A = this chain, B = another copy of it.
Amino acid sequence: MKLCPVILCGGAGSRLWPLSRRLYPKQFMDMGGHTLFGDTLKRLGGLPELTPPLVICNREQRFLAAAQMQEQGLEPAGRVILEPEGRNTAPAIAVAAQAALERNRGEDALLLALPSDHVIREVGAFARAVAQAAACAGQGRLVTFGVEPDGPETGYGYIQRGEALSTGFAVRRFVEKPRREAAEAMLAGGGHYWNSGMFLFRASLFLSELRRYAPDMFRAAADAWEERAEEHDFIWLGEAFAACPADSIDYAVMEKTSLAAMVPLDAGWSDLGSWSAVYDAAAKDAAANALVGDVLAENVSGSYLHSSGRLVAALGVRDMVVVETGDAVLVAGKEHSQEVKTLVARLSRQARSEKDTHLRVFRPWGWYETLALGERFQVKRIMVKSGASLSLQLHHQRAEHWVVVSGVGRVTVGDKLLELHADQSTYIPLGVRHRLANAGPLPLEIIEIQSGSYLGEDDIVRFEDTYGRC
């Protein structure tokens, strides 16, 4: 039976704010030339007999997911399933199971469900564990991967091992995120593992167990799949999905089924679930500091200092997390980094944009970055990929000036068509239809100055769009 990987990309990753944000979350973040989602796809290369992976994410992130799949040489068309809104892992996997069965024309498939935002250092060990789990699942089990704990971590759920099976172990019990003392007891007692959130099982078996233990969820997921639309290379789940109860696969199925099994995973795993986990996974200097970017540290120890651009100068601090971005700076005690979520919740109550978006906003055609926002002007830096073009659009309340910094632009203004090279500029009066395209082989970089009484992103009328955004 072939193995069908299912990559779960729905997470918002607010625990790594301000680097990770709703519209550009942890799994898609640039970690220095690579992303966790990209690493997850690459890791599959070590596995035999795979069907191409299915990717499940929310609609806002579809272009990020597609672009990063292409970077890994994977064709996204027909493989990216879009949730109208997040419903946790169980419904997402249920939909993926429907998709896998349909793709195999009713024949069964083994689903390998993987979070998209974890680190696994040893690919060989990972592949061996997957092979064991596949054998175990072949014998009618729902298999979870248990990580050998290296400390009394209170941020993870635990799995207690049961009797040995021909491969892997039965599961005696699942344990909620424990208190410190309980975690230490489990560590001392042995036979307990961290719940990694990775699973392997037959699609048909998962669905039958889901139907037994969570029939509403089974039904809603099946309907959402039935009602799906396939447009612009994406699979858009029906609105029935929004009516689906939200729950994790652990609560909805694994803790209830009698068929749960566990395969140990010892492969340098981390879920990077907090800044202190990022610190633990990072390379450190002699003072046990992990310094990223333009950082100056004087009399500093045990700290994670991350600059995205501006100089970060730290003096006489220990066990700190400092993360600098274009519009927000986090300064936290390392042992408090689990509480970043509460900070983000406060931002959310204040409806602040720093919660969701970065200064740099990714679009299917490239990205833009706000350099300055004033009383009645905004300056943006815009990068258009080779061959890409923005929509044909107009603005009712703002004029725009474009100056080409590098590359070659093909610019439509009203009924004129211009080719603009470096140092050349053009002016788009308000109310005039315009379009920007990259006419060259290199990235097109321009500076846009918007001037007008209202500068909101919503003052846009689209007439044509390559990416189906009209």
A406 adjacent to B376 (CB under 8 Å): yes
Secondary structure dominating the interface of A = strand
Tell me, yes or no, whether A22 is within 8 Å of chain B by CB: no
Q: What residue of chain B has the Cβ atom nearest to residue A427's Cβ? A: B425
Interfacial chain B residues near A54, Cβ < 8 Å: none
Q: Looking at the complex, which one of B307, B346, B399, B423 makes contact with A296 (CB distance below 8 Å)?
A: B346
**A residues 296-311 in Cβ contact with B at 8 Å:** 296, 298-299, 305, 307, 310-311
Binds B, one of A60-68, A135-143, A410-418, A443-451: A443-451
B320 adjacent to A331 (CB under 8 Å): yes
Binds B, one of A160-168, A197-205, A261-269, A321-329: A321-329
B312 adjacent to A329 (CB under 8 Å): yes
Q: Looking at the complex, which one of B307, B313, B324, B381 makes contact with A18 (CB distance below 8 Å)?
A: B313
Q: What residue of chain B has the Cβ atom nearest to residue A452's Cβ? A: B423
Tell me, yes or no, whether A49 is within 8 Å of chain B by CB: no
- Cα(A346)–Cα(B340), bound, Å: 32
Q: Looking at the complex, which one of B322, B335, B399 makes contact with A316 (CB distance below 8 Å)?
A: B335
Q: Looking at the complex, which one of B312, B371, B372, B451 makes contact with A423 (CB distance below 8 Å)?
A: B451
Interfacial chain B residues near A339, Cβ < 8 Å: 298-299, 315-316
Q: Looking at the complex, which one of B307, B354, B379 makes contact with A379 (CB distance below 8 Å)?
A: B379
B315 adjacent to A328 (CB under 8 Å): no
Provided the pairs A403-B451, A405-B451 are in contact, do residues A371 and B374 lie with their beta carbons within 8 angstroms? no
Tell me, yes or no, whether A342 is within 8 Å of chain B by CB: yes
- Cα(A97)–Cα(B422), bound, Å: 58
Interfacial chain B residues near A87, Cβ < 8 Å: none
Contact string against B for A residues 445-466, beta-carbon threshold 8 Å, 1 for contact and 0 otherwise: 1010101100000000000000
Least distance between A207 CB and chain B CB atoms (Å): 42
Q: Looking at the complex, which one of B315, B354, B401 makes contact with A330 (CB distance below 8 Å)?
A: B315
Tell me, yes or no, whether A347 is within 8 Å of chain B by CB: yes
Interfacial chain B residues near A299, Cβ < 8 Å: 336, 339
Interfacial chain B residues near A346, Cβ < 8 Å: 296, 298
Contact string against B for A residues 407-451, beta-carbon threshold 8 Å, 1 for contact and 0 otherwise: 000000000000000110101000000000000000001010101
Q: Looking at the complex, which one of B298, B327, B336 makes contact with A310 (CB distance below 8 Å)?
A: B327
B328 adjacent to A331 (CB under 8 Å): no
- Cα(A293)–Cα(B127), bound, Å: 51
Q: What residue of chain B has the Cβ atom nearest to residue A425's Cβ? A: B401
Least distance between A22 CB and chain B CB atoms (Å): 16
Tell me, yes or no, whether A352 is within 8 Å of chain B by CB: yes
Q: Which residues of chain A have a CB within 8 Å of any CB of chain B?
A: 18, 296, 298-299, 305, 307, 310-317, 320, 322, 324, 326-333, 335-337, 339-340, 342-343, 346-347, 352, 354, 371-372, 374-377, 379, 381, 399, 401, 403, 405-406, 422-423, 425, 427, 445, 447, 449, 451-452
